[in-house]
Amino acid sequence: MRVVIVGAGSTGYELASRLGPRHKILLVENRADCLKEKGSVIEPDKDAVEAAGRTGITCVKGDGTSRLVLQALHSPECNCALVAVAGKDEINLEVGRLGRAVGFDPVIAVQHGDEYTDRYSVEHITAINRSDLLADQVELSLHHKGAVVPSGIGLGRGELVEIRLVRTSPILNRPLKKLAPHRWRVAAVFRDKDLIVPTGDTTLQVDDRVLLVGDPKILPSVAEYLRKGTPQFPRPYGANVVTLEFGGADEKLYQETEHLACASGAVHLVRGIPGAEDTSPKEEPEILTYPECKGAVERATFPLPALDAPDLVEKTTLRRAGVLMVRPMRRGFFARLLGLQGKDAGLCDQFRSPVLFCRGTYPYRKILLPVSASEISIHAAEMAIDITRQLGGSLTAVNVDLPRYISGLSEEDIHREVVPVKKLCELYEVPLNYRHQEGNPVRGLLNEAASHDLVVMARRQGRRDNFFDPDVALRIARQAACSVIVLTVRAGE
């Protein structure tokens, strides 16, 4: 992310110092004495800005209230944020107004006087009231007998997020009961100066401030998507795409991984190869960190332990994978005979990230989502929709049931399983093709997979696999003609 900070005073420089290790920071100030010893100084020139480092602080000598200066610092090819921290509201308002016009998003300003609240709101600038923040912190500290207490609310783990809806938000003018949220909810809506306690019939409008509550592992990605509609895969699980090349360097696997990493906007492509040099990133990237532009993924390697090594999970987890890329694995004869897990099941059970079993059928244009009565089906649906939007593919949902004379299902029961998926697709405006078949579920899904590029499935952790109760997701991953991505759902999720 590129962050432009206007104002090189103590607040601006402290903010730049905190963000600098992870983002490209442009610290703008028109007083030369404020820029001394704060980093390299450049003029507000597009070529100079693009030549600056990918991360760290670059000082820009220029007027932040000049539209020409802000245009030189903005790039339509990457995510650009603007923060105005000058000492006067008049300056911050002008910076924010011009920043909005140029295309910065988000635009944030430090507010000094209460009389400017309405003016910031009219200009659609997120204003942070300096006095209110200080008063809140002092009040909390007094209440807790002098202790320093976080000024956030809730459990302090990021389970509460407030967003302002823009015109591209996918949840505008939709009753909340049609959103089918999973692991998150709309807790409150603030419209103009009114608080709305939402019901199922509440609809949302442009400029509504919406308070979301949910699982802190997914809420940042949910909030970012609901705010302006951008797909997130693989960031809900991690910022990087990681290969597990257990048999040594696998160029075909790497090519498929490279395509996904570049198409999805992952931060790093990290190859796990036995005996490789460890060049993987040492600093943990943020879940919502974006590269400067799509395709600008950075490459790295790390020494991959053996599949049955005790340190496999520890060393691989350090790579912060949003998805693990690996070759399909066969299950041994005795494991099949006794209904035991195969090596692929053990691999999926150990990691929270989805595992993509690669067969080289990229680009993933035709995506298949098997649906069932299982409650974990919605986990796979969320991931499939996000991948479809991220990669610009088409999505087909298929439901394969046992013949009706065996299952006893009615016509309504048969098609009920796809209803939540249809609601999600309507929310995200993803066209959905739907097919229903009767017969052997595994055989039917394999037949459907033959005409697709990627199958998206979910399974329960620790699941056994026998003739009477098959682990369908991994059976498809082992036998399908196309690539298959499997998300393993833990107990309680």
Task: Provide the residue type at 23 as one letter.
Answer: H
Q: Rounded distance, CA 237 to CA 457, Å?
A: 16
* pLDDT computed for residue 288 by the predictor: 41
What does the DSSP 8-state code read for residue 264?
Answer: H
**Shared-domain flag, residues 22 and 121:** yes
Question: With 50 as the cut, is the pLDDT of residue 298 above it?
Answer: yes
pLDDT at residue 30 tops 90: no
Query: How much is the CA Rg of the chain, to the nearest whole Å?
Result: 25
pLDDT at 287 over 70: no
Same domain membership, residue 166 and residue 127: no
Examine the domain organization and report whether 108 and 15 are in the same domain.
Answer: yes
Range of the domain at 420: 357-489
Say how many domains are in the chain: 3
441-480: per-residue pLDDT in tens? Answer: 899 999 999 999 999 999 999 988 888 888 999 999 999 9
pLDDT at 39 (0 to 100): 65
Q: Kindly state the average pLDDT of the residues 86-114.
A: 92
Pair 63, 183 in one domain: no
Average pLDDT over residues 306-311: 93
Same domain, 88 and 166: no
Burial of 181 (0-12, 13-18, 19+ CB in 10 A): middle
Are 43 and 69 in contact, with CB atoms under 8 Å apart?
no
Q: Would you state the structure tokens that stand for residue 266, as one six-digit string?
A: 């992952």
Residues 136 and 165 in one domain: no
Q: Are 347 and 326 in contact (CB under 8 A)?
A: yes
Above pLDDT 90, what percent of the chain?
45
Letter for the amino acid at 449?
A
221: CATH: 3.30.70.1450
Q: Could you say which of 106, 140, 174 is where a domain stops?
A: 140
Q: What b-and-e string marks burial along 114-125, b requiring 16 or more CB atoms within 10 Å of the CB?
A: eebeebbbebbb
pLDDT band at residue 147, thresholds of 50, 70 and 90? very low
Lowest mean pLDDT among 157-161, 184-188, 204-208: 157-161
Which of the pair, 275 or 439, is modelled with greater confidence?
Answer: 275
The yes-or-no verdict on residue 488 having pLDDT over 50 is yes
Identity at 100, one-letter amino acid code: R
Mean pLDDT confidence for 277-288: 66
Give the whole-angstrom CA distance, residue 295 versus residue 80.
17
Residue bearing tokens 């080289």: 360
Angle, in degrees to the nearest 10, between helices 377-391 and 251-264: 80
Q: Element (H or E) spanning 92, and its range?
A: helix 89-102
The strand pairing partners of 272, in sequence order, are: 244, 302
For 365-417, write each residue's pLDDT tens digit: 999 999 987 878 888 998 999 999 999 999 999 998 877 766 666 666 667 78
Residue 343 above 50 pLDDT? yes
Question: Which range among 97-101, 221-225, 431-435 shows the weakest confidence by mean pLDDT?
Answer: 221-225
Q: Which residue has the tokens 């459990």?
A: 155
Is 54 domain-assigned?
yes
102 and 185 part of one domain: no
Is 295 a residue whose pLDDT tops 80? Answer: no
Classify residue 26: in a domain, yes or no.
yes
Residue 196 Cα distances to 179, 187, 210, 305, angstroms: 18, 9, 10, 54
Same domain, 27 and 96: yes
Q: What angle do CA 209, 212, 216 make, to 5 degrees?
A: 140
Query: Does position 431 have pLDDT exceeding 50, yes or no?
Result: yes
406 plus 368 within the same structural domain:
yes
Say yes or no to pLDDT of 150 above 60. no
Q: Rounded to whole angstroms, what are the CA distances from 221 to 1, 3, 95, 401, 411? A: 15, 19, 28, 34, 37
Contact 488, 348 (CB under 8 A): yes
Q: Give the closest residue to 77 by CA, choosing from 299, 296, 287, 393.
A: 296
pLDDT score at 34: 73
Q: What's the CATH code of the domain at 23?
A: 3.40.50.720
| In a domain? residue 436 | yes
DSSP state for residue 176 in the 8-state scheme: G
Do 382 and 479 belong together in one domain? yes
Return the sign of the alpha-carbon dihedral for residues 151, 154, 159, 165: negative
- Across 137-146, 187-196, 291-300, the highest mean pLDDT is recorded for 187-196
The pLDDT of residue 475? 94
How far apart are alpha carbons 487 and 233 in whole angstroms? 13
> Would you state the pLDDT for residue 413?
67
**d(Cα 86, Cα 493) in Å, to the nearest integer?**
45
**Residue 308 confidence (pLDDT) above 60:** yes
pLDDT, average across residues 306-313 = 94
Nearest to 387 by CA among 223, 233, 272: 233
- Asked whether residue 424 is domain-assigned, the answer is yes
**What pLDDT, on the 0 to 100 scale, is given for residue 144?**
47
- As given in the structure block, the two tokens for residue 269 are 């492509």
- pLDDT band for 283, please (50, 70, 90 cuts): low
Does 297 map to a domain? no
Q: Say whether both 468 and 391 belong to one domain.
A: yes
Please report the pLDDT score of residue 133 as a whole number: 78
- State the Cα angle at 356 between 351 and 360, rounded to 5°: 155
With vertex at residue 473, the alpha carbon angle to CA 467 and CA 477, rounded to the nearest 5 degrees, is 105
Q: Looking at residue 381, what is its pLDDT?
A: 92
Find the largest Cα–Cα distance for the chain: 84
Give domain status of residue 270, yes or no.
no
17: pLDDT strictly greater than 80: yes
If pLDDT is split at 50, 70 and 90, which confidence band does 292 have? Answer: very low
Please name which of 480, 463, 479 lies closest in space to residue 471, comparing C-alpha atoms.
Answer: 463
Within-domain flag for 267: no
pLDDT surpasses 90 at 486: yes
pLDDT at 217: 74
* pLDDT for the residue 216: 76
118 and 203 both lie in a single domain: no
Residue 324: inside a domain? no
CATH of the domain at 365: 3.40.50.620
Q: What is the pLDDT of residue 149?
A: 47
How many Å apart are CA 24 and CA 39, to the nearest integer? 13
Q: Which two tokens stand for residue 260?
A: 């996904």
Share of residues in the chain with pLDDT > 70 (%): 89
